[in-house]
């Protein structure tokens, strides 16, 4: 499993961040580059960004995860530090077939960060431990 993004992807997110701060838009050339680097999941990820489906959940101890509401209404807890998402597409496309760098949920989290549109939520360390431990818990936003 990859623990980092290729340099070209990192630079792409930096370019999006700079341009989006100035214009509140992602220009066509960067959209084309996104499609080239990340493939067909880009459109779905951008749709999740438009729907404000990404929330960064953080705790007082400094731990954080990203929760992404998928198109089906299911909530996915994504771990950006190791590029992991529990969705079936991640398991199949990224891990099993090695056909993509990221699933649409993790890509949406990166895009939201670059664009500065990530929803923010603070939880207690106990709630974060439950999230990280996989204990089903519903966090009220």
pTM: 0.87
Q: What distance in Å separates the CA atoms of residue 94 and residue 96, rounded to the nearest whole number?
A: 6
- Residue 83 has a pLDDT of 87
CB atoms within 10 A of CB 30: 17
Q: Which residues pair with 64 in a beta bridge?
A: 58
User: What are 93-132's pLDDT values in tens digits?
Assistant: 888 888 888 999 999 999 999 999 999 999 999 999 888 8
Alpha helices in the chain (DSSP H): 7-23, 28-38, 41-50, 88-89, 104-115, 125-132
- Is 106:117 a contact under the CB 8 Å cutoff? no
Strands 54-58 and 64-69: antiparallel
User: What are 2-14's pLDDT values in tens digits?
Assistant: 335 788 899 999 9
């Amino acid at each position: 499993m990859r623990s980092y993004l290729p340099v070209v992807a990192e630079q792409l997110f930096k370019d999006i961040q700079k341009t989006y701060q100035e214009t509140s838009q992602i220009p066509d050339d960067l959209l084309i580059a996104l499609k080239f680097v990340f493939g067909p999941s880009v459109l779905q990820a951008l749709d999740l960004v438009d729907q404000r489906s990404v929330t960064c959940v953080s705790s007082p101890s400094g731990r954080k995860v990203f929760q992404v509401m998928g198109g089906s209404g299911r909530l996915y807890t994504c771990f950006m530090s190791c590029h992991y998402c529990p969705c079936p597409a991640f398991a199949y496309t990224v891990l099993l077939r090695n056909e993509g760098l990221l699933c649409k949920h993790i890509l949406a989290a990166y895009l939201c960060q670059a664009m500065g549109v990530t929803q923010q939520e603070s939880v207690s360390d106990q709630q974060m431990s439950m999230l990280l431990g996989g204990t089903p818990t519903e966090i009220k936003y």
